[in-house]
């Protein structure tokens, strides 16, 4: 398989992974408009856990794509057309990531009236933003 074919394959995997992640967040938001019970908080934890693992996978996929592209540029194995395509795919990734991040922000700004649930919700949101892997229970 050619270098550009690998880059396109990894780009496609990244878009599929992003789509699955966004679908998971949207599904959660369609079922939960606020965190009102322990059950809704548990659903939130489950969704966040999946999102965090998908983010690590996304970093691996897109990181590999970027490394291949950079090596192709350095070694001269990427033609001018391939270089332009590589840049275009990275621009698409940036905009797709910003779009997904806006949906993520909605899930991190749900209304929580119960103080005990609010403390745990905020802790989960901090973990989601600051750590690569979930460290919350259940």
Q: How is the chain split into domains, by residue range?
A: 38-127
pTM summary value: 0.91
Query: Do 12 and 89 contact (CB within 8 A), yes or no?
Result: no
Cα distances (angstroms) measured from residue 56 to each of 26, 31, 49: 20, 25, 11
The beta-strand segments (E) located in the chain are 34-35, 111-112
pLDDT, residue 138, reads: 61
pLDDT, residue 105, reads: 97
**How is the chain split among helix, strand and coil, in percent rounded to 5?**
80, 5, 15
Instruction: Enumerate residue ranges in the chain where pLDDT < 70.
Output: 138
């Amino acid at each position: 398989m050619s270098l550009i074919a690998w880059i396109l394959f990894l780009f496609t995997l990244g878009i599929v992974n992003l789509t699955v992640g966004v679908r998971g967040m949207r599904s959660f938001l369609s079922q939960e408009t606020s965190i009102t019970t322990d059950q809704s908080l548990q659903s939130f934890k489950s969704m966040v856990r999946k999102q965090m693992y998908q983010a690590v996978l996304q970093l691996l996929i897109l990181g590999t794509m970027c490394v291949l592209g950079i090596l192709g540029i350095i070694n001269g194995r990427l033609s001018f057309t391939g270089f332009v395509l590589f840049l275009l795919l990275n621009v698409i990734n940036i905009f797709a990531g910003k779009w997904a991040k806006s949906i993520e922000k909605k899930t991190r700004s749900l209304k929580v009236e119960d103080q005990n649930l609010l403390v745990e919700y905020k802790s989960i949101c901090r973990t989601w933003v600051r750590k690569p892997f979930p460290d919350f229970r259940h």
